[in-house]
Structure 1
Amino acid sequence: MIKCPPFALQGHMPTSGTKSDPVGHALAQIDTAFRWRKPAIISSHRVNYAGHIDSKNRERGLAGLAELLQGIVKRWSDVRFITAHTLLQLILAR
């Protein structure tokens, strides 16, 4: 099984002075998983969506997540989003 690195936006967006592309990186990792016919597991932390200290952090996080999900559906139109529990049940059923 291939696990994508955590989908992290805080401190990694171009507005923070870096040239990092977390969405593009996640899509590349997902592509690798799918080429190996493995599930892509995307993990993310609530800090990407919390806005109690800086509301722009929440806006960036939600926008990045939307961009990632739209990119996945656009590239792999037959993709299925399932919970970790459902994935485990599928693996154990083999």
Structure 2
Amino acid sequence: MPKSKHQILQNTFGFDEFRPLQETVVDKILNHEDVLLILPTGGGKSLCYQLPALLMEGVVVVVSPLLALMQDQVHGLAAKRNSRCYCYDVVYARYGANHTSTE
């Protein structure tokens, strides 16, 4: 039986309810609508793409310059036993650990 968005919200993310705007955005993504969401840091943006990714078939690609945050989120999801997540750092893969912003 497929899980609902509310089951995933509670079981995977540990929240009983969505923050303002989150459920609307999740529903739009699940309906394959384009979304531009602007919220402050800590406003719950990450959940808006992570939760639908767990409900949808196939691969979800998120492009973000915040690689350190993304890697932290991947580790957090992996710790919750979600094996469907991976963070690929293009800069690290190409240049290695010695890359700096001036290269």
TM-score of the two chains, using structure 2 as the length reference: 0.29
Bigger fraction of residues in strand = 1
Q: Which has the higher contact order (CA 8 A, sep 6+)?
A: 1
TM-score of the two chains, using structure 1 as the length reference: 0.30
